[in-house]
């Protein structure tokens, strides 16, 4: 199981922040709160691309048009 994760794309906190258009601190808060899964590498965090995609998909909002207009 762990073997298939090897070679998977890992993103830095800065890369995730840039992709999400938020600050690094926001990404750290998401990690600390458990909302965004991350791997600790030494003193730094790495985020799997699939974990970022899952986080974003879980929070996607579907906007429905008001039919009465």
Q: Where in the chain are the domains?
A: 2-58
Mind listing the pLDDT tens digit for each residue in 11-65?
A: 999 999 999 999 999 999 999 999 999 999 999 999 999 999 999 999 998 888 7
Residue 66 has pLDDT above 80, yes or no: no
Question: What's the pLDDT at 65?
Answer: 78
Burial class (CB in 10 A: 0-12, 13-18, 19+), 38: buried
Alpha helices, DSSP H only, in the chain? Answer: 13-20, 24-32, 49-58
Task: State whether residue 24 is helix, strand or coil.
Answer: helix
Task: State whether residue 5 is helix, strand or coil.
Answer: helix
Q: What CATH number matches the domain at 2-58, 3.90.105, 3.40.50, 2.60.120, 1.10.3470?
A: 3.90.105
Task: Provide the whole-model pTM.
Answer: 0.79
């Amino acid at each position: 199981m762990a073997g298939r994760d090897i070679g998977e794309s890992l993103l830095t906190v800065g890369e995730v922040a840039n992709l999400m258009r938020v600050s690094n601190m926001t990404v750290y808060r998401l990690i600390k709160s458990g909302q965004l899964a991350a791997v600790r590498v030494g003193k730094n965090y790495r985020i799997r691309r699939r974990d970022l995609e899952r986080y974003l998909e879980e929070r996607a909002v579907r906007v429905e048009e008001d039919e009465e207009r």
